[in-house]
Amino acid sequence: MTSGLSIDAVKIIQDAPGIARASNAPLLTPEAVLMAPIPLRSTGTDANVELRGVSPNVFAIRRNITIIEGRMFTPGIAELVVGKNAKATYSGLTLGNSITLGTVRWQVVGVSTRAVVPLTPKSGATPTFLTAPIIARTLFLNP
């Protein structure tokens, strides 16, 4: 089963009356979720890991998430922030390391209390939404 909203629908929702705002911007983060194979540290076998792509304002909305190592990803670049539990559970999710998701190499630039990843890896690209224990474009990775 799948579901989704077009970027046009997201724009309508973010401009709707009653949507909370901060600094004149809607407190709304469209997110995309996908599954990706990432090897477990314990066995080396791939596990299906949920990845979540989020918008840069995610921390204004999900206030229970903070960066504990490194930094937040830069929008438009293939960078991701992983959750501390994902870092401990899966191989290759250490600060400074890169992993391949599809055809794109993503660099781990931060570790958070939970995962966060950007929506798109290339500047000017149409946003696609992702979420997980990894945060890329922004992706969050949470086991």
Task: Provide the residue ranges of all domains of the chain, joining segments of one domain with +.
Answer: 29-139
pTM over 0.85: no
Highest mean pLDDT among 19-23, 111-115, 121-125, 131-135: 19-23
With a CB cutoff of 8 Å and minimum separation 6, the contacts of 8 are none
Query: pLDDT of 90-106, one tens digit each?
Result: 999 999 999 988 888 99
Closest CA to 47 of 36, 57, 56: 36
Contact 135, 117 (CB under 8 A): yes
